[in-house]
Amino acid sequence: MTLPPAASLHDPAESFYSHWQALNDWLILHRPLWQSAPFMEPVPGWTRDYPGLARLVAGLGDRQCDALDDDPAELASLAGEYLPTLTAYSQLVELPDLSPSAHEVARATLPEVRAVDMPGRKRQQSGAFAAAVQPLRESVLDWCCGKGHLSRTLAAGCPEPVRGFEWNAELVRDGNRLAVQAGAAVSVQCQDVMAPDLALPANVHGVALHACGDLHRQLIRVGSEAGLPRLSVSPCCYHLTDARPYRPLSHRSASCDNRLELSPNDIRLAVQETVTAPARVRAQTRLVSQWRLGFDGLQRELRGCDDYLPVPSHPSRLIHEGFEGFCRWAAGKKKLALPDTTDFEHWREVGERRWRQVRRHELVRHLFRRPLELWIVLDYAVFLEERGYRVRLGEFCDRTLTPRNLLLDAVRVSGIPPVEHNRP
């Protein structure tokens, strides 16, 4: 496998594309590891192909699992002993740090007293994003702006008024009210950004903080088509798309012969992170997963069939009814009769054991979250370069503030006409 050469700042077009290509090849090479479904398959295929790796993860303690889930580079290096191509991980996910100094971030972040109605994490994310895109020269268009938290943050350091597009009328009302209350030069407009007749204001700097899937792709597409002077996007929820299968935006990636094909479900792995979920939520998710796995063991025995049986999402009240209540509800949904002799305690323990195993197999899958995300975002960078932009791609804040911490910052290079490609 060829890895990208050290990124060349003098030829960003080449480095973004070659980085994308190296990730593409690496992801294809390791497909069985990230396309496995540990929740449904007690023995994923890769555990037979790489028994050393399977033994490594099976031998990890719970704390080691937590630590390695937060430190995939360390996991890749340990796992590299059994599958040496995994050691390329660190090089493949390395990106420039686009976060300015703590002082600059503090200056760009609204003080708490002026951040009315703004959740603490959103206030800090908006501040970090605003600091990373300074200086602002044009008037700003905040894409899918919600209540305009980012708009108000940006307005404090922007020479021109900030405009927001948002389609939810209630959020638009709140956004305008909060702007007036704060004395911020912000106006939020009710607008569906996917509307076919969308009229983009000329010469604005388009920004999007966590606009989901097709929404941020729409800004990248229509914003560059309109030749907006600058586009700054921190993408999220890549799997929210109407495209089946997912198709890269750039001509170069889309026409690559050996291109990875991703379903929305594959893409979902890129955003499967819970670093910001409160401990209580994580504990509850774990308990329900154990119950589901316990019921899975029970249903396999009852049906005499070693296949996973999908169970729909459960009503939240079930969490108070214990494992037995859960099994009775799930059996009802799947029209399975539970014998009076069912040993619920046994199956609850089976669920706990299976969960520990799934946790360790998932650890291996999680190694591919950032590479999949980068495969998608590097293609955006290549696309913007094809359209005549100079692009920076890096991290605008620490992932503990938000795991969706990538920033794509593209400035239109005057004099370079966008490359026209006819899509096949």
Residues near ligand SAM (CB under 6 A): 122, 144-146, 149-150, 165-168, 171, 192-194, 209-212, 215
Quote the CA–CA distance of 76 and 55 in Å, as a whole number.
15
Nearer to ligand SAM, 198 or 281 (CB): 198
Nearer to ligand SAM, 190 or 336 (CB): 190
CB of 408 to ligand SAM, least distance (A): 15
CB of 279 to ligand SAM, least distance (A): 23
CB of 298 to ligand SAM, least distance (A): 38
Nearer to ligand SAM, 65 or 200 (CB): 200
- CA quadruple 381, 383, 389, 393: dihedral, nearest 10: 0
Nearer to ligand SAM, 27 or 145 (CB): 145
The CA distances from residue 154 to 139, 227, 262, in Å, are: 10, 22, 35
> Which strands, in side-by-side order, build the sheet including 205-212?
186-190, 162-166, 140-143, 205-212, 230-236, 406-412, 389-395
CB of 274 to ligand SAM, least distance (A): 17
CB of 187 to ligand SAM, least distance (A): 15
SS3 335: coil
Nearer to ligand SAM, 236 or 391 (CB): 236
Nearer to ligand SAM, 168 or 263 (CB): 168
Nearest to 182 by CA among 117, 129, 127, 132: 117
Quote the CA–CA distance of 187 and 322 in Å, as a whole number.
50
CB of 219 to ligand SAM, least distance (A): 10
Nearest to 69 by CA among 363, 368, 369, 402: 363
Quote the CA–CA distance of 278 and 284 in Å, as a whole number.
10
CB of 110 to ligand SAM, least distance (A): 13
Which tokens go with 186? 């912000």
Nearer to ligand SAM, 215 or 382 (CB): 215
Region of 223 on the Ramachandran plot (φ > 0 left; ψ -120 to 50 alpha; else beta): alpha
CB of 195 to ligand SAM, least distance (A): 8
Q: Which amino acid is at 145?
A: C
CB of 223 to ligand SAM, least distance (A): 14
Nearer to ligand SAM, 119 or 322 (CB): 119
Nearest to 294 by CA among 314, 324, 320, 329: 324
Quote the CA–CA distance of 378 and 19 in Å, as a whole number.
8
Residue 165 phi, psi (nearest 5): -110, 130
Nearer to ligand SAM, 182 or 215 (CB): 215
Burial 93-113 (b: 16+ CB within 10 A, else e): bebeebbbeeebbeebbbeee
Residues 33/268, Cβ–Cβ less than 8 Å: no
